[in-house]
């Protein structure tokens, strides 16, 4: 054991866990330098708004969610208002986010649960958040990390894809990915790591054609070469904003 990290070869890349930890932390630092403005791209002003927006973000883009939440929050600004919301009205407002009937059902139940169980306030603990309708660990970590300042790893499709491409884990299950990455990245960095990887996944390390030749962690990535390696061609693939 060196520095509290056991040196084993039970890692996806065959490197020791110590080497994996050092490489992962180096990659995080380089990506944080590339994306100093990485942040939650859902618009919100309080924990309630972030919780609702995160539930709406399933199977759609943050940009789309940000287009519908102003009207939703104007009509239903808190849990008490949402608990008594008109179902058809909510469905109409959020229709463009997709799966609007299921999302409406979750939101109405969420409002009732917050009022009945937490006096209308969003709880600041994982154990309480995951008991709420429509809230899993991913959503809870978004809220904890961005509304309450509690470090959390948010494993969305981008985060999971990059964690595996980087050789940080071979796990597919989001909860297992969360725990595996949490074991090699310092807890204080968990929330920002989530933002940085999402930014990188949306802008550079795309699912189908990653811009390897324009990647700041290319020399540390075991998956280098799965995408475009020519610097100029790769640069043309880099997005400056999230897709709509």
Q: What is the pLDDT of residues 175-199, one digit of tens each?
A: 999 999 999 999 999 999 999 999 9
- To the query of whether residue 109 is one of the catalytic residues in this protein, the response is no
- To the query of whether residue 138 is one of the catalytic residues in this protein, the response is yes
Q: Is-above-0.85 flag for pTM?
A: yes
Residues forming a β-bridge with 2 = 5
What's the CATH number where 24 sits?
1.10.1670.10
Write down the pLDDT at residue 9: 52
Q: Token match 């849990």: residue?
A: 79
Query: Pick from 147, 162, 188: which residue ends a domain?
Result: 147
Is 164 within the bounds of a domain?
A: yes
Element (H, E) at 47: helix 47-56
Write down the pLDDT at residue 1: 46
For the chain, list residues with pLDDT below 50.
1-3, 5-7
What's the CATH number where 94 sits?
1.10.340.30
- Exactly one of 43, 78, 128, 156 is catalytic; name it: 156
Domain that holds residue 184: 17-34+153-237
Q: Which residues have a Cβ under 8 Å from the Cβ of 211 and sit 6 or more positions away?
A: 204, 205, 227, 228, 234, 235, 237, 238
Write down the pLDDT at residue 244: 55
Query: Pick from 147, 178, 209: which residue ends a domain?
Result: 147
Confirm if 206 and 161 have CB atoms less than 8 A apart: no
């Amino acid at each position: 054991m060196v520095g509290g990290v056991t040196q084993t070869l039970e890692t996806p890349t065959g490197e020791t866990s110590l080497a994996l930890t050092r490489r992962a932390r180096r990659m995080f630092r380089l990506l944080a330098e590339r994306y100093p403005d990485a942040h939650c791209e859902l618009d919100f002003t309080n924990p309630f708004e972030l919780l609702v927006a995160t539930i709406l973000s399933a199977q759609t883009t943050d940009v789309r969610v940000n287009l519908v939440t102003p009207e939703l929050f104007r009509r239903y600004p808190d849990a008490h208002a949402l608990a008594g919301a008109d179902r058809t009205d909510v469905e109409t407002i959020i229709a463009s986010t997709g799966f609007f009937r299921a999302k409406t059902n979750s939101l109405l139940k969420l409002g009732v649960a917050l009022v009945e169980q937490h006096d209308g306030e969003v709880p600041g603990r994982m154990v309480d958040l995951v008991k709420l309708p429509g809230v899993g660990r991913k959503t809870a970590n978004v809220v904890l990390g961005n509304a309450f300042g509690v470090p959390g790893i948010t494993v969305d499709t981008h985060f999971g894809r990059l964690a595996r491409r980087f050789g940080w884990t071979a796990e597919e299950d989001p909860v297992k990915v969360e725990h595996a990455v949490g074991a090699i990245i310092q807890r204080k960095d968990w929330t920002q790591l989530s933002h940085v990887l999402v930014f990188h996944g949306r802008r550079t390390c795309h699912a189908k054609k990653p811009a390897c030749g324009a990647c700041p962690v290319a020399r540390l990535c075991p998956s280098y070469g799965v995408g475009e390696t020519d610097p100029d061609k790769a640069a043309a693939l880099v997005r400056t904003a999230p897709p709509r």
